[in-house]
Amino acid sequence: MSPEEMANAKAVVSTVASVAATAMLVRSIANDFIPKEFRSYVFESFYDLFRRFSSQFTILIHEFQGPSPNLVFEAVEVYLGTIVNSSTKSIRLGKTENDKGLVIKMDKDEEIIDVFEDVKVTWRMQCRKIESGSQNDEIKDMIAALCSELRCYELSFLKKHKETVLKSYLPYIMERSKVAKEESRAIKLYSNFRNWGSDGMNLEHPMTFDTLAIDEEIKITLIDDLACFVKGKDYYNRIGKAWKRGYLLYGPPGTGKSSLIAAMANHLNYDIYDLDLTEVRSNSNLRSLLLGMSGRSILVIEDIDCSIKLDNREKEEEKENKHNRVTLSGILNFLDGIWSCCGEERIIVVTTNDIDKLDAALLRPGRMDMHIHMSFCRLSAFKQLVFNYLGIRQHDMFAQIGGLLEEVEVTPAEVAGELLKSKNPTISLQGLLEFLENKIAERERLKAETDLTA
């Protein structure tokens, strides 16, 4: 900047400063001398004048568009809640049944400054009381019945950034708010016990992929697979397949099959529909249940080998038809076909303790896309459990315990049970060590007995 330009800039700054000072002075004089009823009129006219001469541009986003809620207002409200920072003096806080955690919103008369692609913008919220009945205005009365004030966000920035704000910043806010809304939504658990029910329960299962103790390689493969699936809308469209993915989890009780489902739901923020096949009366009942599910959800069929006789399919189907009960082919047909028309992402998880009992038709590729073996606890899963329960990553006894885990079959649930007994790592791990040694001794004893009788 040349000295001349600098002087010019200084002059502009001092003009702006003096305009601002005048504004403040006018405001305080006005507060003293102008009757309350006229104040807002005077201020608005004054600010109008100020705006006309400034290089600022302002966008007003009202809460209502006619009688309907303004979706941009809602998006801005969510978005600003995610960027409130220490510069704000007060916020509004709340939580409803459908929120996962606390929801933060900008308070009225607060100001938030945001920077987007080097463009600085200022957000302010104005509130105006609704004088219902003062005018014979139907829309006003309808809105007054919903709330006592009319709210409006005021977004201001330098005129020259109008293009960026309208074409990039506002679309960005719409997108960000959608994501934020999805993330803060409580996950619901529905069960077909009462035909899914209307509201479902909040799933408050704390399991995540961070705390789930399974083989690291399987975990990474699964997380990648889920990420691919979620982004796969165009792909599934192109190949003309229903946008769904099936996971079969198999392994003994207590190896974390149900825990893995909870981790998946928490990871994706999907609702869970828990389908108990013994409660399904007929194929048509099954059909209406599946159609009644919303998208972005996980259909869970636990212990499929126990809830439906799978081994003798032909015979079973004959019998089922007589009793009008649900059949395996009914399930498979639905999995294949019924969801193709909805175009919404859906995941099916089937669990079993015994994969050998499952019908080949269910195991065919395309039915269950990924088979995940949930196995007994080995060193890496053990380390994860120790970190979950005791908060440590390393201990002298790890090697010894790791060795025993290779020798004996214990489930993560059993290990977790032992680790829960004391918060002191040494006592807790000592307890686990004894538990494992006892288990091995018991096995040897049984073996000796059977050898003797043989």
Ligand X SMILES: Nc1ncnc2c1ncn2[C@@H]1O[C@H](COP(=O)(O)OP(=O)(O)OP(=O)(O)O)[C@@H](O)[C@H]1O
| Binding positions for Mg ion, rule: CB under 5 A | 257-258
Of 24-32, 134-142, 160-168, 412-420, the window that binds ligand X (rule: CB under 6 A) is 412-420
**255 interacts with ligand X by CB under 6 A:** yes
**Euclidean distance between CA atoms 254 and 376, whole angstroms:** 9
Binding mask 361-390 for ligand X (x = CB under 6 A): -------------x------x---x-----
| Of 81, 200, 246, 256, the one binding ligand X by CB under 6 A | 256
**212 interacts with ligand X by CB under 6 A:** yes
3-state SS, residue 350: strand
Give residues with Cβ within 8 angstroms of 375, minimum separation 6. 215, 251, 255
**257 interacts with ligand X by CB under 6 A:** yes
**Starting at the edge strand that comes first in sequence, how are the strands of the sheet with 149-158 ordered?**
56-62, 149-158, 119-129, 111-116
Nearer to ligand X by Cβ, of 69 and 253: the residue is: 253
CA proximity to 225, closest of 371, 336, 374: 371
Q: Which residue is nearest to Mg ion (CB)?
A: 258
**Euclidean distance between CA atoms 40 and 30, whole angstroms:** 10
**254 interacts with ligand X by CB under 6 A:** yes
Nearer to ligand X by Cβ, of 29 and 220: the residue is: 220
**Euclidean distance between CA atoms 292 and 393, whole angstroms:** 45
Nearer to ligand X by Cβ, of 127 and 355: the residue is: 355
- What's the closest the beta carbon of residue 207 comes to Mg ion, in angstroms? 12
Which helix (DSSP H) or strand (DSSP E) does residue 271 occupy? strand 271-274
**Euclidean distance between CA atoms 230 and 223, whole angstroms:** 11
Query: Could you say which of ligand X, Mg ion, none residue 353 binds, taking C-beta under 5 to 8 angstroms by partner kind?
Result: ligand X
User: In terms of C-beta density within 10 A (0-12 exposed, 13-18 middle, 19 or more buried), how is residue 369 classed?
Assistant: middle
| Of 191, 269, 353, 430, the one binding ligand X by CB under 6 A | 353
**258 interacts with ligand X by CB under 6 A:** yes
Give the binding-site size for ligand X (rule: CB under 6 A): 17
User: In terms of C-beta density within 10 A (0-12 exposed, 13-18 middle, 19 or more buried), how is residue 222 classed?
Assistant: buried
**61 interacts with ligand X by CB under 6 A:** no
Contact of 63 with 73, CB cutoff 8 Å: yes
Nearer to ligand X by Cβ, of 282 and 353: the residue is: 353
Which helix (DSSP H) or strand (DSSP E) does residue 69 occupy? strand 68-69
Query: Could you say which of Mg ion, ligand X, none residue 253 binds, taking C-beta under 5 to 8 angstroms by partner kind?
Result: ligand X
**350 interacts with ligand X by CB under 6 A:** no
Binding mask 120-139 for ligand X (x = CB under 6 A): --------------------
**259 interacts with ligand X by CB under 6 A:** yes
Radius of gyration of the chain (CA): 32
User: How many Cα atoms within 13 Å fall on the side-chain side of residue 152?
Assistant: 14
Contact of 226 with 268, CB cutoff 8 Å: yes
Query: Could you say which of Mg ion, ligand X, none residue 358 binds, taking C-beta under 5 to 8 angstroms by partner kind?
Result: none
Residue 397 tokens read as: 């006894």
Of 62-70, 272-280, 411-419, 421-429, the window that binds ligand X (rule: CB under 6 A) is 411-419
**Euclidean distance between CA atoms 442 and 431, whole angstroms:** 16
| Of 158, 413, 425, 431, the one binding ligand X by CB under 6 A | 413
| Of 67, 133, 197, 253, the one binding ligand X by CB under 6 A | 253
| Of 187, 213, 264, 335, the one binding ligand X by CB under 6 A | 213
- What's the closest the beta carbon of residue 257 comes to Mg ion, in angstroms? 5
Query: Could you say which of ligand X, Mg ion, none residue 170 binds, taking C-beta under 5 to 8 angstroms by partner kind?
Result: none
Binding site for ligand X (CB under 6 A): 212-214, 253-259, 353, 374, 381, 385, 412-413, 416
